[in-house]
Chain A
Amino acid sequence: MTPTLTWAQLRDLNCAELEGAADGWGKSSNRADAARDRIEQQLLTGLRDTQEGEAAQAAVARLRQLGRNFQYVYTECGLLRTTLNSLSHEMKTQQRVLREALDDAVALKFTVHADGSVTYPAAGEGLIDGAPLRGGTASSTGSPGLVPPSGLVAPNPHAAKAQDIADRVTGAARAAAEIDWRYAGILRRLKAEEGLKVPDSTWKDAAGDAAEVRDAAGAYLKDAIPRDASPAERRDWWAGLTQEQREEYLAVYPDQIGNLDGIPALVRDAANRDNLRLLIGELEGRDDEKSITQLAGLREIDRQLGAAVKPGEPPMFLLGVSDEGNGRAIVSYGNPDTAKNVSTYVPGLNTSLDEDFAKNDLKRALDTAKGSRYHDPSSAAVAWLGYDAPQAVDGFSSLSVAGDGRAVEGGKRLSEFTAGLSATNENEDPHLTAIGHSYGSRTVGAAATQQGGGIPGIDDIVLVGSPGVGVDHAEDLGVGKEHVFVGAAENDVVTVLPSKQQAAAGAVGSWFGPLLYVAGDVADQGDDDLWFGKDPASESFGAKRFRVDDGPGLVGDFGPSIAAHSQYFDPKRDAVSAHNISLISAGRSEKINTQEYR
C-alpha cells in the first residue's frame, strides 16, 4: 500500500461535493424504501387478500421478491450515503490540520513547497559573530535541513517551528491518503450484486457491510447513541435529530436503534424489520444448534410479519430482535405508542428465541390484545423476551441453578422497557400492565423492587403460574396490593413448588420432582411458602386472586401437571383466566371473577 496524495490536493478537495453525492444516495435509499412500502401496503395487500389461485400466488411471489430487492437497495444505498458523509468528515478533519499548519507558515513567512518541505529565513544570532543564522529547509521525510543543528552552532529559532509545520503538512497528506485508501476498500464492497434476487447470502454480506461502515463512521456519527441515558432522554435525543441524521442512524445502527427503549415504536419496528433480514442472513450460514434454533424462531416471526393482518386483529410491531444470549424478541400487537392500555407479558422458565416462542408465546400476547380490545379498543399487548430466562435442562433444579440472578438482570431490562413505553406513549395517562408468567413473575417481582416506586409506568401487575415473586407481600410490588392480581391453577405444578427449605431435603430434581413434593406436602400441611417466597395465591400475600380453570391433572385429572401451567392465556382452554387477564389489561379490573385464597 503506497497511497499518495499531495497536500495541495488535500487542500483543494471540495468536501461539499462528497456530501452532495451522499445526498444523492440518500434520495435513492428513500425511493427504494417508499417503493417497498408501496408494494407492502398497496400492491400486495390487494392481491393477497382478495385473490386465490396460481396466477395470484405467482404475482404475490414476484412482488415479494421485488419488495425484498427494494429493502436491499434501501439498506445499501443508505450505507453508501453514510460512507460518503463519513469520508467527507474525515477529510475535513485533515484539511483543518493542514490549514492550521499553512496559516502558521504564512504568519512566520515560511514557504511550504509542493513536496511538503518548509523553507525558513535567516534569524537569531550566531554564538561567535552575532550574525543572523542562515535559513534552511525542514522536511518531515527524514532528510536533514541545510544546517544540521549541532552543539557548536546555535540553531536558527525557526528551524524547530519549520520542522513542526512540515510534520503537520506531510502528516495530514499521509493521513488523507490512508483515509482515501480505506474508503476505496469500503466502497468497493458496496457494489450492487447483479439481478433482482436477494438471497440470504446477500443479506449476510449486507450485515458485514453495515458493520464495516459503522466502524469507519464512528467518528462521523459522533453524536453517539445515548445508551446510558434514560429512555425519556433517548426519546428527546431522537426527537432532536434531523430527518437525515435519523435516516443515517437507521441505516448504520438499525440493531441499536431498533432495540433502544425510548425510541418510538414505529421507528423500532421499521429498524427491526431490517434487523430481522440481516439476522436471518447472518444465522443462515451457521450450523451450530443455537443458530439453527434461533433461525427457526426468526423465520416464523418473519412469516407472521409478512402475512396479511386478519380483519379485527391488531397489527404487529417488532419492538426488539437480536441473537444476544438465548435470543431476544419483543413483539407488540397494536401500536404501544398510541394505545391507552399496554400490557407486557414476561415469559418464564424455558423460554428462548425459538419456533415455540414465535408461535406460542406470541399467541399469548395476541390473545391478550384481542381480549383487551374487546373491552377497550385502545389496547395493545406485548410479548417481551428481553432477557435470558432460565432453561430447564435439568428440570426444576434449573431454578436453583438460575436462582434469582436471571430475574434480577431481567428485572432491570424490564424496567427500562416499561420506562420506554411510558416515555413514547402519546396518551396523557396511559395504563400499563406487567404480566409475569412462571419465572417471568419472579422477574416482574425483581423489577418491582429494584428502584423506589415499583416498575416504571406500571399500574397493574398480573402474576400467573408463579413459583413466587421474591417478596412476601403484594404491597411490596409498588402498585398497591389492590393492583396485584394472581392466577394460580390448582393443578399447576409450578404454583405448588416446594420452598427451597423443603427442596433442600432432596425432594426436587426433575420435571416430575413435584410429584415427590405432593408427598412432602402431606408432611407439611398448611405451608404457604413457594420456591421464591410466599405463595402469591395465599391470603397472607394479599393480592387479588382471580378465577382460573383448575387445569388438567396428571393422572385421572388429579394432581399437579405441567399442562395446567401453560393455559392461562388461552381463551379456548382457560376462557375464564384469559378473560380476567384481558379485563385487567384493559383497565377494567373491577369486573374480574375472583377466586378464594389458597
Chain B
Amino acid sequence: MTAMRGQGEPAVPPGRGDCGQRLKHSDGPWLRAAGGAEGLAAHLGPVRHELAAAHEGLLAGAGRLTALAELAAVRESWERRIQAAQGECGSLAAKLRAVARTQGATNEAVRSSFTAMTPCGGDER
C-alpha cells in the first residue's frame, strides 16, 4: 500500500507563470492531467488478464465448491467496474485535452490582443 498522500510539492511547471498578461489557465496542467488519465487507463489495462491468470487453475481444480461459482460472478462484477473506471479515464483524458486546446486558443487570442503592449517571448507552444 502506498501510504504517502497529501505530501509533495504542487507540480507547477517552472518558468511558465511569469508573463503578466496570461490567463490563470495554462495548458500545462491540463495536458499533464490528460496524460496522467491516459496513464491510469494503461495502468488498469492488465487487471482483467491478471485476474484471469490468477483464477485459471481454480476453475480446473477446485471447481466443486459452491463458493467458486459465486467467485466467478464476483469477478465479472469487478471486471465491469474496473472497465468502467478505465473508460472514465479515457473520457476524462479526452475532455482534459479538449480543454487544453480551447484554453490554448483563448490564450492565443488574448495574447495577440496584448502583443503590441507586452511581448511574451518564449511562451509559444
Question: Which A residues are in CB contact (< 8 Å) with B84?
Answer: 195-196
Decide yes or no whether A400 CB sits under 8 A from chain B: no
Question: Which B residues are in CB contact (< 8 Å) with A195?
Answer: 81, 84
Decide yes or no whether A108 CB sits under 8 A from chain B: no
Quick one: which of A23, A188, A194, A315 contacts B70, CB cutoff 8 A?
A: A188
Decide yes or no whether B105 CB sits under 8 A from chain A: no
Decide yes or no whether A191 CB sits under 8 A from chain B: yes
Instruction: Give residues of chain B (20-69) contacting chain A, Cβ–Cβ below 8 Å.
Output: 24-26, 28-30, 32-33, 36-37, 39-40, 43-44, 46-47, 50-51, 53-55, 57-58, 61-62, 64-67, 69
Question: Which B residues are in CB contact (< 8 Å) with A21?
Answer: 54-55, 58, 71
Given A47-B33, A73-B85, CB of A41 within 8 Å of CB of B64 = no
Minimal beta-carbon separation of B85 from chain A (angstroms)? 6
C-alpha gap A192/B7 in the complex (Å): 30
C-alpha gap A270/B85 in the complex (Å): 22
Decide yes or no whether A28 CB sits under 8 A from chain B: yes
| Pairwise interchain contact B24-A51, C-beta atoms closer than 8 A | yes
Decide yes or no whether B88 CB sits under 8 A from chain A: yes
Given A33-B1, A194-B81, CB of A187 within 8 Å of CB of B74 = yes
Minimal beta-carbon separation of B43 from chain A (angstroms)? 6
Q: Of all chain B residues, which has the CB nearest A15?
A: B62
Given A20-B54, A35-B43, CB of A196 within 8 Å of CB of B85 = yes
Q: Of all chain B residues, which has the CB nearest A62?
A: B92
Q: Of all chain A residues, which has the CB nearest B26?
A: A50
Decide yes or no whether A546 CB sits under 8 A from chain B: no
**B-side interface residues, number (CB < 8 Å):** 59
| Pairwise interchain contact B80-A192, C-beta atoms closer than 8 A | yes
C-alpha gap A63/B85 in the complex (Å): 11
Decide yes or no whether A316 CB sits under 8 A from chain B: yes
| Pairwise interchain contact A42-B36, C-beta atoms closer than 8 A | yes
| Pairwise interchain contact A51-B25, C-beta atoms closer than 8 A | yes
Quick one: which of B12, B69, B95 contacts A59, CB cutoff 8 A?
A: B95
| Pairwise interchain contact B11-A42, C-beta atoms closer than 8 A | yes
Quick one: which of B4, B28, B88 contacts A62, CB cutoff 8 A?
A: B88
Q: Of all chain B residues, which has the CB nearest A9?
A: B64
**A-side interface residues, number (CB < 8 Å):** 79
| Pairwise interchain contact B80-A187, C-beta atoms closer than 8 A | no
Minimal beta-carbon separation of B5 from chain A (angstroms)? 6
C-alpha gap A12/B67 in the complex (Å): 16
Instruction: Indicate with 1 or 0, residue by residue over A158-180, a CB within 8 angstroms of chain B CB atoms.
Output: 00000000000000000000001
| Pairwise interchain contact A187-B70, C-beta atoms closer than 8 A | yes
Instruction: Indicate with 1 or 0, residue by residue over A21-50, a CB within 8 angstroms of chain B CB atoms.
Output: 101110110111111011111110111011
C-alpha gap A39/B58 in the complex (Å): 34
Question: Which B residues are in CB contact (< 8 Å) with A70?
Answer: 85
| Pairwise interchain contact B61-A45, C-beta atoms closer than 8 A | no
| Pairwise interchain contact A190-B54, C-beta atoms closer than 8 A | no
Decide yes or no whether B120 CB sits under 8 A from chain A: no
| Pairwise interchain contact B7-A24, C-beta atoms closer than 8 A | no
Question: Which B residues are in CB contact (< 8 Å) with A56?
Answer: 25
Question: Which A residues are in CB contact (< 8 Å) with B78?
Answer: 28, 73, 76-77, 80, 191-192
- A-B pairs with the 9 shortest C-beta distances? A24-B54, A46-B29, A266-B3, A192-B81, A192-B77, A187-B70, A49-B10, A270-B3, A17-B57
Can you give 14 contacting A-B residue pairs, CB < 8 Å?
A17-B61, A20-B55, A21-B55, A31-B46, A31-B47, A38-B36, A40-B6, A41-B8, A50-B26, A51-B30, A59-B95, A69-B81, A192-B77, A269-B3
Q: Which residues of B contact A (CB under 8 A)?
A: 1-8, 10-12, 24-26, 28-30, 32-33, 36-37, 39-40, 43-44, 46-47, 50-51, 53-55, 57-58, 61-62, 64-67, 69-71, 73-74, 77-78, 80-82, 84-85, 88-89, 92, 95-96, 99, 103
